Structure 1
């Protein structure tokens, strides 16, 4: 018999919470990628990796928070632990591939297209791998056209997010990009869920081989959420990121961060001028007064 599928068991609570987590992961990821473009090269891989994990955790957390609100009235739902964990790994790895591609190759057409397609397919793979982790007394079926639309949304969303990561500099612009990214990622999820139909084997409530949503998803969500909070602390207290729209976001700052070609000084160093009376000294470093 055909099951009655409900993706909004708790009303607007799960969609709103899922959207906020997608925005949080996107915002942190975008700021980390921006930071990698203006800092010392030795820190670039670390910032890119942190950004990739933040975006991946945000997408994965969004998916499974939304899935807490998913139910089939005629049967109970459980989850396979291994596939659920694997879907998190897939989200982080594929986002990382896209982030490192644009982080090192820039937002050129070929690099951005390749990174967007790779990341979008990976996000879709995470979604449907997470759906494969569902355990219920029935068969899950998908509408091919709607699935294709969800994959297309994922690719477009990933491409737009990666483009924003390497072109958007200001804090408010990054925030706006993350809000749009949250809409796109959540839209991909609920488009994919619209493709779902369930053929239930019986009407007795059934049994399943897997953990219940409350016993598995809530504890598993705790880890990525804690990571996002810690990543937020790192971003908030990083001096360059705190500046936001300040001096470092001006054109050419990224080049000065790599090396001061005029003075030969290492990144971030200020050339010390002669100790003349019309110069001012702060903490042992002499700066020229503006004339």
Structure 2
């Protein structure tokens, strides 16, 4: 037998090519399984070509490493056939490894087909030498080589399937697996070579016209490594691009999710906004129609929020809204929807079995909001007015439900606030009337429809006149002369009261300047200040500007502040009142006796006058409980050196008793009714005669 030898360097290169081809195969399986249909086909085709060339090159380099003491060559057709077999085997291996599942039966069949294919490639390549006489094979060793090929093929398929997913350590696992697969492939090849024996006198028929072995080794190594490297680099770059694309897609999805959240939620309270609320309402209507169920829409408005917001600033107001939203959220069930629809307005959508359930929820909300809010060291108190509309019955769609619950909420405010009210059909007419009145009120000042009436205050018991109180009237073009009780509550709810109040101060100062110039030098005019206007930062500048504009001293103006307004936040009230007093303006505590004053705080107020509420005067009689209260108020005022004014005096008996008790001034229909400035009479009242 001819004795062959091996080129150690080429043997080493054949092993390196086997390892590189194995690593490329493992990486390509991951790319194919991760790609979609069309890209996956391209990866399968390109990968099979690269991998097939790599496996075949390992075999061919191993053949080139083998040398006999005769000239050797390789038939072109058979060599090309062995390459096609390698590509076909690679295609099958990549396809099988990229499948979603690889059960044991499929793995065994794949191992047989892949191992048989590799063996066929090897022995076809051996046949390309066209030895004469033919190569003698040791069948036991041939069988061993086929077994190695089948085992190596099965191991390759299983490893490729297990490592096709990307993970933090997948590259290390693939490198180790590639070394194992490379050893297995090389072992199969050189086991197959060991099975071949070449008889003495053998010649290679392909040595003349086939592929020569002297100059093919280096080009094949270079081309093979280049093709495998290109395939591997392309796979790695594509993987990185995919990872970056996935990261970008994830970031974009998160950004879209955050944007959607911001679009559908209130930025301050994190509650759903009006847009999301309307969608939830549509869903609630659909569900109620399908299940024959009911749900309630509750419109909530915080009473007194505007005053706190103007007094303490928007920062405190925002924190109050946030805490109120938390209380609303904590007071309802998880399946209910609570939303903020603007300003201090909230809406709750709650599933109910009957209207009584809605009332129970509303009562719980009223009680929750009534509790004090501790914000930035301030003990703040607000209440909530709630309007309730029930579906079905109080609206056909989400817009009508919101409108009707809003109407019911305003009705709750008109009843005294801090309560809930169910919608009734008759409320809509009132709502439309209020809306029309509001539209007219916004233009009333510009159109010159607002005017002041003046009610004189008399020195007890019957004169002379010591001052007048300015009372606002609205000369509406179609409704006639409207008293303040018809439109002031509406102006307070909408914030128009601040603008209107500034006009009242200016007009009152203008008129008292005229009277003083006409000879009534000691005359003063009193102006009622609403809680919202009192807590506005514009109050003191408005007073100062009016006094300067009409060139009158501060003593000509008296600001009447209700007891409850002065006591709401004593420290803030003291600051405002001291700034007003610094202008020389007098302060009158109006409606005294109806609030919850602390004498400790009351004595600190820079007031000049106490005005007894008319509620104590209506049923005033000698020896009555009201008489005792009035007597106590007068004694308190005298102790604090305050002038005492009683309003609502309508009978001579009331006048006489108040004078006896020590009132300084009296005001009421008995003495003088409110009248335009040109009709005010000075001197002793006509009612001074005994009644």
Q: Same fold (TM over 0.5)?
A: yes
The answer as to whether partners of 2:24 and 2:231 remain within 8 angstroms in 1 is yes
Q: For the structure 1 residues 208 and 95, does the alpha-carbon distance in structure 2 shift closer, same or farther, using more than 3 Å as the test?
A: same
The answer as to whether partners of 2:57 and 2:220 remain within 8 angstroms in 1 is no
Q: Does 1:275 align with 2:275?
A: no
Q: Does 1:50 align with 2:46?
A: yes
The answer as to whether partners of 2:21 and 2:55 remain within 8 angstroms in 1 is yes
In structure 2, what is the Cα distance between the partners aligned to 1:216 and 1:13? 14
Going by fraction, where is strand more abundant, 1 or 2?
A: 2
Q: What corresponds to 1:214 in structure 2? A: 214
Give the Å deviation of 1:72: 1.5
Q: What corresponds to 1:111 in structure 2? A: 106
In structure 1, what is the Cα distance between the partners aligned to 2:258 and 2:96? 44
The number of aligned residues is 253
In structure 2, what is the Cα distance between the partners aligned to 1:69 and 1:219? 14
Q: What corresponds to 2:3 in structure 1? A: 4
Give the Å deviation of 1:137: 5.2
Give the Å deviation of 1:49: 3.0
Give the Å deviation of 1:238: 1.8
In structure 1, what is the Cα distance between the partners aligned to 2:109 and 2:45? 19
For residues 76-132 of structure 1, give each alpha carbon's deviation from its aligned partner in whole angstroms, at most 9, with x where no partner exists.
Answer: 111111111111111011221232133235321122111111111101000000000
Q: What corresponds to 1:87 in structure 2? A: 82
Q: For the structure 1 residues 149 and 36, does the alpha-carbon distance in structure 2 shift closer, same or farther, using more than 3 Å as the test?
A: same
For residues 28-62 of structure 1, give each alpha carbon's deviation from its aligned partner in whole angstroms, at most 9, with x where no partner exists.
Answer: 11101112222334322222333333332221111
In structure 2, what is the Cα distance between the partners aligned to 1:268 and 1:185? 44
Q: Which ranges of structure 2 fall in alignment gaps of 5 or more residues?
A: 264-691
Matching residue within 124, 128, 131 for 2:119: 124
Q: Does 1:239 align with 2:273?
A: no
Q: Does 1:230 align with 2:225?
A: no
Q: Which ranges of structure 1 fall in alignment gaps of 5 or more residues?
A: 249-265, 280-291
In structure 1, what is the Cα distance between the partners aligned to 2:211 and 2:50? 26
Q: What corresponds to 2:61 in structure 1? A: 65
Q: For the structure 1 residues 269 and 30, does the alpha-carbon distance in structure 2 shift closer, same or farther, using more than 3 Å as the test?
A: farther
The answer as to whether partners of 2:18 and 2:58 remain within 8 angstroms in 1 is yes
Moved over 6 A (4+): 266-269, 276-279
**What SS does structure 2 have at the residue aligned with 1:106?**
coil
Give the Å deviation of 1:217: 5.3
In structure 2, what is the Cα distance between the partners aligned to 1:105 and 1:37? 8
Q: For the structure 1 residues 110 and 241, does the alpha-carbon distance in structure 2 shift closer, same or farther, using more than 3 Å as the test?
A: farther
Does 163-172 or 148-157 show the bigger shift?
163-172
Give the Å deviation of 1:240: 4.3
TM-score, length-normalised on structure 2?
0.34
The answer as to whether partners of 1:32 and 1:50 remain within 8 angstroms in 2 is no
Q: What corresponds to 2:142 in structure 1? A: 147
In structure 1, what is the Cα distance between the partners aligned to 2:176 and 2:202? 47
Q: What corresponds to 2:23 in structure 1? A: 27
In structure 2, what is the Cα distance between the partners aligned to 1:200 and 1:208? 19
For residues 177-234 of structure 1, give each alpha carbon's deviation from its aligned partner in whole angstroms, at most 9, with x where no partner exists.
Answer: 111100000000010011010013269xx96542321245554555433321211220
The answer as to whether partners of 2:28 and 2:94 remain within 8 angstroms in 1 is no
The answer as to whether partners of 2:33 and 2:99 remain within 8 angstroms in 1 is no
Does 148-157 or 28-37 show the bigger shift?
28-37
Structure with the bigger RCO (C-alpha within 8 Å, sep 6+) is: 1
Q: For the structure 1 residues 107 and 3, does the alpha-carbon distance in structure 2 shift closer, same or farther, using more than 3 Å as the test?
A: same
Give the Å deviation of 1:144: 0.4
The answer as to whether partners of 1:57 and 1:224 remain within 8 angstroms in 2 is yes
Q: Does 1:39 align with 2:40?
A: no
Matching residue within 93, 97, 122 for 1:98: 93
Give the Å deviation of 1:278: 8.3
Going by fraction, where is helix more abundant, 1 or 2?
A: 1
Structural RMSD (CA): 3.1
**What SS does structure 2 have at the residue aligned with 1:275?**
helix
The answer as to whether partners of 1:236 and 1:242 remain within 8 angstroms in 2 is no
Give the Å deviation of 1:269: 7.7
